[in-house]
């Protein structure tokens, strides 16, 4: 049986007297896209921030490829090949794609100077693989479309050997054509064996792009379903009512 890329077991975290995540267990397998759904305040973002190293859980454990992981910071998460693409994308608008791709992890030549030519060449190589139509290598990312900006953020994660990718509402505020482009990128990464957690409010996007969905409500896990076994109404019922559809127990 395939070992999960990620297992989060019985995760609990509180802020003051508020239990934000209460004993939640989820998993993710190689070559799988898993949606994480729930209304605002359901705890999904807090749970994922534990995996990304932004928060530390009060209790519970994380296994990466079957081995216990000690994730105390975003740097720790990256050492476990976990990369996060936030909704804001965390791009420097005044810099071009190569500078953003290597921001904080710049390539240098043997004398210690920034190796701009190599960073541009590497950016062209990875973008040709992910988005062959991308041409604006030297323009600041502020001049790029939403889909192109998302491509740069994804390229940054893939270049640094991500095995586990966390994507926070990757198609928010994108048009139909750009949403389709991002969906295609996600399918490419899935085919390469990456595991992807997709945090989203858009049930239609989750139905289209995901294999399974974990649904949370009030800090607890309502349940996990295979997308092929449920309808959009089923997912909506889980989010609002906090109940599993009878025919879709995983």
Q: What is the pLDDT of residues 31-57, one digit of tens each?
A: 999 999 998 889 998 999 999 999 999
Q: Which of 4, 6, 3, 5 is nearest to 62 (CA)?
A: 6
Count of other CB atoms within 10 angstroms of residue 133? 10
The CATH class of 1-81+163-250 is alpha beta
Task: Please tell me the predicted confidence (pLDDT) of residue 11.
Answer: 96
Cα Rg of the chain, angstroms: 19
- In this prediction, residue 166 has a pLDDT band, given cuts at 50, 70 and 90, of very high
Over residues 231-239, the mean pLDDT reads 93
Q: Tokens for 232? A: 């959009």
Over residues 238-244, the mean pLDDT reads 91
Q: Are 25 and 9 in contact (CB under 8 A)?
A: yes
Model confidence pLDDT, tens digit, residues 105-153: 889 989 989 999 999 999 998 888 888 888 888 999 888 888 888 888 8
- In this prediction, residue 88 has a pLDDT band, given cuts at 50, 70 and 90, of low
- Asked if residue 17 has pLDDT above 90, the reply is no
Q: Percent helix, strand and coil across the chain, each rounded to 5?
A: 35, 25, 35
Q: pTM of the entire structure?
A: 0.87
- Burial (CB < 10 A; 0-12, 13-18, 19+), residue 9, is middle
Residues of the chain with CATH 3.40.50.300: 1-81+163-250
Model confidence pLDDT, tens digit, residues 131-142: 888 888 899 988
Task: Please tell me the predicted confidence (pLDDT) of residue 136.
Answer: 86
User: Edge-to-edge, what's the strand order for the sheet holding 195-199?
Assistant: 82-85, 164-168, 195-199, 33-37, 212-217, 220-226
Dihedral-angle region of residue 193 (phi above 0 means left; psi in -120 to 50 means alpha; beta otherwise)? left
């Amino acid at each position: 049986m395939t070992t999960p890329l990620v297992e989060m077991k019985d995760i609990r975290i509180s802020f003051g007297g508020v239990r934000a995540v209460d004993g939640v267990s989820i998993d993710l397998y190689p070559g799988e896209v898993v949606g994480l759904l729930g209304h605002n305040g359901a705890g999904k973002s807090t749970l994922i921030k534990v995996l990304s190293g932004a928060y530390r859980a009060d209790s519970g454990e994380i296994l990466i490829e079957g081995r216990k992981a000690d994730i105390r910071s975003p740097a720790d998460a990256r050492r476990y090949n976990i990369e996060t693409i936030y909704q804001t994308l965390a791009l420097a608008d005044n810099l071009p794609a190569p500078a953003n791709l290597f921001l904080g992890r710049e390539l240098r030549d043997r004398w210690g100077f920034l190796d701009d030519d190599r960073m541009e060449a590497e950016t062209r190589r990875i973008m040709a693989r992910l988005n062959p139509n991308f041409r604006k290598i030297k323009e600041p990312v502020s001049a790029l479309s939403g889909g192109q900006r998302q491509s740069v953020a994804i390229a940054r994660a893939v270049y640094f050997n991500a095995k586990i990718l966390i994507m926070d509402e990757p198609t928010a505020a994108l048009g139909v054509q750009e949403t389709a482009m991002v969906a295609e990128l996600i399918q490419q990464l899935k085919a390469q064996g990456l595991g992807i957690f997709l945090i989203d409010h858009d049930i239609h996007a989750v139905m289209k792009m995901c294999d399974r969905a974990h649904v949370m409500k009030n800090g607890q896990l309502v349940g996990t379903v295979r997308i092929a076994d449920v309808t959009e109404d089923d997912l909506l019922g889980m989010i609002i009512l906090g109940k599993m559809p009878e025919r879709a127990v995983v």
